[in-house]
Structure 1
């Protein structure tokens, strides 16, 4: 996932290029989570291993991306 241009009140979010997306699986039965991984398949493999160990069968996969909030050169952030 890449947000190209998300702006709010003069700010925009820009992905940190040296911080690639990370993935993790979460068991919906007990809340246990896999370690963050570079590949979505690693999170999925953790889910299957967790099923084998616990019998739990409902999961979610999450993607995490780091961003910086910046002020574009042609804008001024709003103050509240």
Structure 2
């Protein structure tokens, strides 16, 4: 009968912002009716959408969703 043997190795990982692709994605959502600005690469478009939506509807509450991308990498171990 052979027995199984396990080897455990621990490593340090680092989480950094992934700059290889696009930057953050911004989207605003009306808290009254659920309508949204659509996704954009900058915050200016969604902010303007909020102001126009408020002017048309009288809705004043909005939620901003920002999606940022990260990458996990093995951290170099110092001797």
Partner Cα distance (1:32, 1:65) in 2: 22
Larger Rg over CA atoms: 2
CA shift, 1:44, in A, is 0.6
RMSD: 2.3
Q: Do residues 10 (structure 1) and 33 (structure 2) align?
A: no
Across the two proteins, how many residue pairs are aligned to each other? 67
Structure 2 length normalisation: TM-score?
Answer: 0.64
User: What is the correspondence of 1:1-80 to structure 2 with a 5 Å cutoff?
Assistant: 10-17=12-19, 18-74=21-77
Corresponding residue for 1:78?
Answer: none
> Distance in 1 between the 2:18 and 2:40 partners?
17
Q: 1:49 Cα shift?
A: 2.4
Give the TM-score, by structure 1 length: 0.64
* Runs of 4+ residues deviating >4 angstroms: none
Query: Which 5+ residue runs of structure 1 have no aligned equivalent?
Result: 1-8, 76-80
Q: Which runs of 5+ in 2 are unaligned?
A: 1-10
